[in-house]
Structure 1
Amino acid sequence: MLAANDDVTRQVLELEANARQLGFRLAVQCLTCKRWLTAPRSVAAHRGPVCRGGHDV
């Protein structure tokens, strides 16, 4: 069974790959601490691993 965020994660990975081909890097700010996030899972969740409490969201 796929989690709801698996589709979002796949979309982020695809977007990131396309951006990388064009010389860009995808980043978002964490909704909690405002740090810049670049890891695909963190970008998809808009929260870094610390602010997610170490759990996959």
Structure 2
Amino acid sequence: MTKKSKLYKNADVVVSAGNADALNISMIEAFTYKTPFVSYDVKYGPKKTLLKMVKMVI
């Protein structure tokens, strides 16, 4: 297990303080480890990415 995977698996939540990142790699990594993720909802960012991810799963 890598250091990064240990951090994500042991985290209660991942928080992104940036408010201009359209596709936050940390968000994708957090979801990979089933860790909740909190970020700003910028017009072109996380919300749209999540909606696309949900549609792909359904």
TM-score range, shorter chain: under 0.3
Name which structure has the greater RCO, CA cutoff 8 Å, separation 6+: 2
- Normalized against structure 2, the TM-score is what? 0.26
